[in-house]
Amino acid sequence: MSHEAAIREPLIFGETNYSVITDEICAPAEAKPTKHWYIGFTIAMLTLCIGIVSFYYEVTHGIGSWGLNKTIGWGFDITNFVWWIGIGHAGTLISAILLLFRQDWRNSINRSAEAMTLFAVVCAGQFPIFHMGRVWNAFFTLPLPNDYGPLWPNFNSALLWDVFAISTYFTVSIVFWYTGIIPDLATLRDRAKSKTRWHIFNFFSFGWTGSIRQWNRFELVSLILAGLATPLVLSVHTIVSFDFATSVLPGWHTTIFPPYFVAGAIFSGFAMVLTLLIIARKVMRLEKYITIGHLEAMSKIITLTGTMVGIAYGTEFFMAWYSGYSYEQFTFINRAFGPYWWSYWIMISCNVVSPQLFWVRKFRRSPIFIFIMSIFVNIGMWFERFVIIVTSLHRDFLPSSWAMYVPTWVEFGMFVGTIGLFFVLFFLFAKYLPVIAIAEVKMIYKKTTHGKPAGAYHGEQDYDQDKAYELAAAAHGHGHDEHETVGEHHH
Amino acid sequence: MIRRIEFTSRNKTIFMGASILGVVLIILGLIVDHNQPGRFWANFLLSGFYFTAFSVLAVAFMAIQYLASGAWSSGIKRIFEAMGMYIPVGIGVIVVIFLATFIGENNGMHAIYEWTHADVVKNDVVLQGKSGYLNMPFWLIRGVFFLAIWALAGRAYRKYSLNEDEVGGMLNYNKSFRLSAFFLPFFGFTFCVASWDWLMSIQPHWYSTIFGVNVFASSLVGCMTLTNLIIIILKKNGKMEWVNENHMHDVSKFMFGFSIFWCYTWVSQYLLIWYANLPEETPYYLMRMHGGWKSLFFINLSLNFFAPFLLFMMRDAKRNLNWVLFVCIVLLLAKYIDWYMIIMPMTAGKDSGFGFYEIGFWLFFAGIFAYIVGASLAKANLLPKNHPYLVESLHHDI
Amino acid sequence: MSIIKIRRTNCIVAVFNDDEVLMGALRKSREKGYGIIEVFTPFPVHGIERVLGVKRSNLGVAAFAFGCIGLLFGLSLTGYTNTFDWPMNIGGKPIWPLLSFMPILFECTVLITALGMVATYLCISRLAPGVIPVIYEPRSTADKFVVLLEIDSRADEIRNNMKAWGVEELRDDVHVDHNMPFPIPFKLK
């Protein structure tokens, strides 16, 4: 029996049961691709081609084809890298941290968010690799036995920490994601209409049967992986922030960078999840499972993390003054009022100011509004990295070496190309795999829908908490909450 | 159903006795360790801040629970409400430290904060630059304002909650929810600022932007530790039968998780300062890693991180009453050492030690804290009635 | 103690439509002492391990062991390369700077813990690419809950009781689903 409070908004709207859930979620993965899918996929492929051309040009012509100079050694490359890595945080946050916090609403978005995470990390990885210039020597970053004399990587370097952090993060995320998708692949296998399809999905579902022992271990493995992935996801952006903060550069060296980068990563990651899911739920007709309530919950997290990021901006600015360190003070004044002032104010308005609109309930329950906001946040977070990197570098300690940074078409092409790569991968995922964790939605289905008073449902996807409370109290008598079973519930 | 506890005269005697014993020890300290105003006032701040911070976090934790629709904690909500009642004592601490400054050159703020000495500031360009922020009136105004708002929020939660017991309905829940939405960002910002004011500015040349986050993590662990302690005491006395090992497990998870988070902020601060090796930042750690402080520096890290990490790693460890009690005591000591390390080196300096002052002040505030919490718990039903999520807390099962 | 028996004996397949009905039937079966060989569900049903008396898995121990291995691996990797084999002066830091090796140690620990634990999980659950499972009801991964019951001398009683407790369908031990366009390969353990 479900003991969920009557006022908790249901996470599934509309008539359904286990069979319908299976059918509806599996449908897109079993049907032929739609026209929309082909159009979208083609556009994504074309965008990826721009990237391939740019990457090719960069490799054959060298880093000189970028707009970097002696003063500004990091520009679009690292900005894009940090931006993508940040986006790649939401998935694991949703699947790991929200699992530990028992947030049931994660169950219908974790699969797609995690897939998105993997693709974002793939995109992110391209930039440091290609920034090496001679990409064929990229294996120098690995501690391999070699013939160059005992030439080992320097484990004191924050950049090498990145190599380990991101490859670990990518591997563990894949393992976590794949562990979770095994039961759903078995569902697809058992629905297969042809022998070949059955064998393909059986191969990938590892012969899953759904026995109690398997589920028992599955749940424990998910929990332990969540426990591991939680510090891991924090560590990744922490180590990315160390790339900057271990230096002595004003604007980069500040101790709040680790948690502030993590908050920013979650912020941008959720924005990207919203961007994708608002479209996906519409196109794939999954509004029933990814409800307005889900979007609202994510909007709230955006407001929370946006505000945290805002407090961090304020702290940095205040501490620059408080430190009494004139270079630090100059850097921050230069950020806000120097030649790149516009990027600073884009950052502030997109990241700190605009999420505050979500204080209005009507806004955070409007998919179109949320969609627009999510784009703003994506832009704002890109500019945050741009501000941190370029404005801290372009006016360094020697005024004679002050410079400006203008990206070339190659850099734009590479950035656009990774966006294409990201969408190509996402389109393939959305077509061939179930975008919602079927088993996990079934797990919460009864808990979240049963025992909810019918009178509290308003309109298509609105649930009136006050009304629900009233109706439940009327149904159970006033002593409803002071439960008779108090003290009996010990296992 | 009425589920009350009685605040007996025996309880009152014990708690008041603890405070009085504390005062006696402080007086003994004044006799034995006389002429140590730095140590005296540093201890006043340390123990005063210790319980205040935990109480403030209790209010913030309620706000988080409301905003996240957290249900499991509604059955133990009265404990957070009772802890919130202690915050006004914090105002007393701030005001006493401020007023004592006027007794003489070595008292009150003068004993703790270097930047209050006019002659020091006169010869220090950096401190002159900060004097717009670090000056006595502004320090007092900020402190009292923050504490007053936190205390008022705590009272408001209490009022709504008691009213909810009477009238039921969603009215009070909705009020608490709205209050939380405004309180939480305010708290996040002001708690950081307060930690700079009260703790970081003890070493006025030093700065670290993560400092507030670190103090926040400590305080949350401390708050959860006290919550578990109160649950255990009540359960050992046969009260709170609706709270079982599942609730304790959750509180313990917060202790465990935020001990790791504390370590994360601690390492972030230490590693970055160690790595960059800037003369502006390193004195803070140089002072704490040499001489007699060195051993305490590593004890601090061990007790605050390794102890809870290893002692609470297994699932059953978080569910066993006596084991949790043991970890709670370890963590209470750990938090004390954490802030001792922040406050003492610059204030008590060579006079630092562990004697009458330390035990006396801690007992003094602990007695007041226990008295206020006990009295508040006894004033209302221990089980909040009509809370809309209560049903989930009563059937909490993980 | 677990009452689920691994050995395959004479058994019947009981198919349920609903998890609550299933739980009720399982609870009563346990009271009666029927042999429950295995239960297949489309999702983890909350509290079912308690009813069946399945012990909590000890995978946590495996995770801890792999964690220790990972930490040792990280320590030897960094220590051998940067401290022992070719020590370098990096910014005046010690040649064995545990603090700046810490991110590497952490990542190695997490990586090996995760990989090792998942590998253990796959092994003990007999999950691997290419494994051909025994499937009693293809819809047990969609919307059916399947119980494999041991048939002893009380065969009729078990059948009747199952019907009374809300079973949707009772079958003999058949692994091949004839509704499928092809027979599912059957493998005897």
In a domain, C158, yes or no: yes
Judging contacts by C-beta atoms under 8 Å, the chain A residues touching residue B185 are 307, 311
A204 CB contacts (<8 Å, ≥6 apart)? A185, C129
- What pLDDT, in 10s, does the model give residues A263-287? 999 999 999 999 999 999 888 888 8
Last residue of a domain, one of C99, C125, C151: C125
**Lookup: tokens for A248:** 């002595």
- Distance between CA atoms of residues C176 and A96, nearest Å: 38
User: What's B353's DSSP letter?
Assistant: -
Last residue of a domain, one of C107, C125, C143: C125
Judging contacts by C-beta atoms under 8 Å, the chain A residues touching residue C143 are 17-19, 21-22
Give A21→chain B minimum CA distance, Å. Answer: 26
CB-based contact B313 C91, cutoff 8 Å: no
Q: Which of A258, A240, A260, A250 is nearest to A312 (CA)?
A: A260
Question: Parallel, antiparallel, or unpaired: how do β-strands A462-463 and A457-458 relate?
Answer: antiparallel
A440 CB contacts (<8 Å, ≥6 apart)? A107, A108, A110, A180, C43
CB-based contact A217 C20, cutoff 8 Å: no
C89 shares a domain with C47? no
Is B313 near chain C, with CB under 8 Å? yes
CB-based contact A209 C90, cutoff 8 Å: no
- Distance between CA atoms of residues B187 and B215, nearest Å: 13
In a domain, C153, yes or no: yes
- Distance between CA atoms of residues A348 and A327, nearest Å: 22
In a domain, C83, yes or no: yes
In a domain, B3, yes or no: no
Give the residue, C36 or B197, on which the prediction is more confident. B197
pLDDT at A419: 96
**Number of folded domains in chain C?**
2
**Number of folded domains in chain B?**
1
CB-based contact C93 A171, cutoff 8 Å: no
Task: Name the residue in chain B with its Cα closest to that of A228.
Answer: B257
C50 shares a domain with C139? yes
Lowest-confidence region among A344-353, A482-491, B353-362, C108-117? A482-491
For residue A212, give the nearest of C39, C126, C182 by CB distance. C39
pLDDT at A370: 95
Give the residue, A474 or B317, on which the prediction is more confident. B317
A467 CB contacts (<8 Å, ≥6 apart)? A453, A455, A456, A458
- What pLDDT, in 10s, does the model give residues B246-261? 999 999 999 999 999 9
pLDDT at A410: 94
What CA dihedral angle connects A88, A90, A96 and A100, to 10 degrees?
160
Amino acid residing at B351: D
Is B276 near chain C, with CB under 8 Å? no
| Confidence label for A3 from pLDDT (cuts 50, 70 and 90) | confident
Place of tokens 């978080």: B318
Task: Name the residue in chain B with its Cα closest to that of A238.
Answer: B268
Query: Mean pLDDT across the stretch B125-140?
Result: 92
For residue B274, give the nearest of C60, C64, C99 by CB distance. C99
| Confidence label for A340 from pLDDT (cuts 50, 70 and 90) | very high
Cα angle B385, B389, B390; round to 5? 40
- What pLDDT, in 10s, does the model give residues A350-384? 999 999 999 999 999 999 999 999 999 999 999 99
C118 shares a domain with C80? yes
| pLDDT surpasses 80 at A324 | yes
Measure CA of the first residue to CA of the last residue in chain A; give whole Å: 16
In a domain, B278, yes or no: yes
User: Which chains have at least 3 CB atom pairs separated by less than 8 Å from chain B?
Assistant: A, C
pLDDT at C6: 41
- Distance between CA atoms of residues B330 and B308, nearest Å: 8
This complex has an ipTM of 0.92
| pLDDT surpasses 70 at B1 | no
Question: Parallel, antiparallel, or unpaired: how do β-strands C145-150 and C36-40 relate?
Answer: antiparallel
Q: Which of A289, A271, A283 is nearest to A109 (CA)?
A: A289
Q: What is the CATH number of the domain that holds C42?
A: 3.30.70
For residue A219, give the nearest of C4, C44, C128 by CB distance. C44
- Distance between CA atoms of residues B306 and B295, nearest Å: 15
**Lookup: tokens for B162:** 């008691």
- Distance between CA atoms of residues A158 and B270, nearest Å: 15
DSSP B47-74: HHHHHHHHHHHHHHHHHHHHHTT--GGG
Judging contacts by C-beta atoms under 8 Å, the chain B residues touching residue A305 are none
In a domain, C50, yes or no: yes
Query: What long-range pairs does B177-186 form, CB within 8 A, spacing at least 24?
Result: B177/B66, B177/B67, B179/B63, B179/B66, B179/B153, B180/B62, B180/B63, B180/B64, B180/B66, B180/B67, B181/A359, B181/B67, B183/B59, B183/B60, B183/B63, B183/B153, B184/B60, B184/B63, B184/B64, B184/B67, B185/A307, B185/A311, B186/B149
Place of tokens 């360094």: A396
Q: In a mutagenesis test of the A interface, which of C110, C132, C187 is the best target, namely the one with the most A β-carbons within 10 Å?
A: C110
How much is the mean pLDDT over chain B? 92
- What pLDDT, in 10s, does the model give residues A89-137? 888 888 888 888 888 899 999 999 999 999 999 999 999 999 988 898 8
Is C132 near chain B, with CB under 8 Å? no
pLDDT at A474: 84
Phi/psi at B123 (nearest 5 deg)? -100, 15
Task: Name the residue in chain B with its Cα closest to that of C98.
Answer: B271
User: Which residues on neighbouring strands pair with residue A462, listed in sequence order?
Assistant: A458
CB-based contact A155 C81, cutoff 8 Å: yes
Helix (H, G, I), strand (E, B) or coil at B374: helix
Helix (H, G, I), strand (E, B) or coil at C146: strand
Helix (H, G, I), strand (E, B) or coil at C133: coil
- Distance between CA atoms of residues A112 and A433, nearest Å: 10
User: Which chains have at least 3 CB atom pairs separated by less than 8 Å from chain C?
Assistant: A, B
Q: Report percent pLDDT > 90 for chain A.
A: 68
Give B120→chain C minimum CA distance, Å. Answer: 34
Instruction: Locate all alpha helices (DSSP H) within C46-182, ordered by sequence.
Output: 48-52, 59-78, 98-124, 155-164
Judging contacts by C-beta atoms under 8 Å, the chain A residues touching residue C181 are 193-195
pLDDT at C184: 42
Place of tokens 């979620």: A25
Model pTM?
Answer: 0.93
CB-based contact C60 B314, cutoff 8 Å: yes
Left if phi > 0, otherwise alpha if psi is -120 to 50, otherwise beta: which for C68? alpha
What is the pLDDT tens value at each position of chain C, 189 positions in all?
A: 334 434 455 788 899 999 999 999 999 988 888 888 889 999 999 888 888 888 888 888 999 999 999 999 999 999 999 888 888 888 888 888 888 899 999 999 999 999 999 999 999 888 999 888 888 888 889 989 999 888 878 888 888 888 999 898 888 765 544 344 444 443 333
pLDDT at A290: 92
In a domain, C171, yes or no: yes
C117 shares a domain with C96? yes
pLDDT at C186: 38
pLDDT at A477: 61
Query: What is the distance, to the nearest Å, from the Cα of residue C139 to the centroid of all Cα atoms in its chain?
Result: 19
Q: In a mutagenesis test of the A interface, which of C43, C145, C180 is the best target, namely the one with the most A β-carbons within 10 Å?
A: C43
In a domain, B1, yes or no: no
pLDDT at C135: 83
Give C99→chain B minimum CA distance, Å. Answer: 7
Tell me how many residue pairs between chain A and chain B have CB atoms under 8 A apart: 143
CB-based contact B264 A258, cutoff 8 Å: yes
Judging contacts by C-beta atoms under 8 Å, the chain A residues touching residue B398 are 102
**Structural domain that includes position B331:** 9-394
Q: In a mutagenesis test of the B interface, which of A100, A224, A322 is the best target, namely the one with the most B β-carbons within 10 Å?
A: A322
Judging contacts by C-beta atoms under 8 Å, the chain A residues touching residue B170 are 7, 465-466, 469-470
For residue A4, give the nearest of B205, B273, B392 by CB distance. B392
| pLDDT surpasses 90 at B34 | no
Give C78→chain A minimum CA distance, Å. Answer: 7
For residue C141, give the nearest of A187, A194, A225 by CB distance. A187
Sign of CA dihedral B397, B398, C3, C6: positive
Judging contacts by C-beta atoms under 8 Å, the chain C residues touching residue B315 are 60
User: Which chains have at least 3 CB atom pairs separated by less than 8 Å from chain A?
Assistant: B, C
Give the residue, A141 or B225, on which the prediction is more confident. B225
pLDDT at A61: 93
Give B149→chain A minimum CA distance, Å. Answer: 19
Q: Give kind and range of the element (H or E) at residue C36.
A: strand C36-40
| Confidence label for A460 from pLDDT (cuts 50, 70 and 90) | confident
Judging contacts by C-beta atoms under 8 Å, the chain A residues touching residue B397 are 489, 491
In a domain, B2, yes or no: no
pLDDT at A128: 92
Lowest-confidence region among B2-6, B210-214, C70-74? B2-6
Sign of CA dihedral C158, C163, C168, C174: positive
Amino acid residing at B158: R
CB-based contact A168 C41, cutoff 8 Å: no
Cα within 13 Å of Cα(B66), Cβ side: 26
Q: Report percent pLDDT > 90 for chain B.
A: 79
User: What's C183's DSSP letter?
Assistant: P
Query: Mean pLDDT across the stretch A308-324?
Result: 92
- What pLDDT, in 10s, does the model give residues A124-175? 999 999 998 889 888 888 888 877 777 888 899 999 999 999 999 999 999 9
Task: Name the residue in chain B with its Cα closest to that of C101.
Answer: B271
Give C127→chain B minimum CA distance, Å. Answer: 26
Task: Name the residue in chain C with its Cα closest to that of A149.
Answer: C86
- What pLDDT, in 10s, does the model give residues B290-326? 888 999 999 999 999 999 999 998 889 999 999 999 9
In a domain, B203, yes or no: yes
CB-based contact A216 C181, cutoff 8 Å: no
**Structural domain that includes position C68:** 59-125
Q: In a mutagenesis test of the B interface, which of A3, A255, A261, A484 is the best target, namely the one with the most B β-carbons within 10 Å?
A: A255
Please list the helix, strand and coil fractions of chain A in percent, rounded to the nearest 5, in that order.
Answer: 70, 0, 25
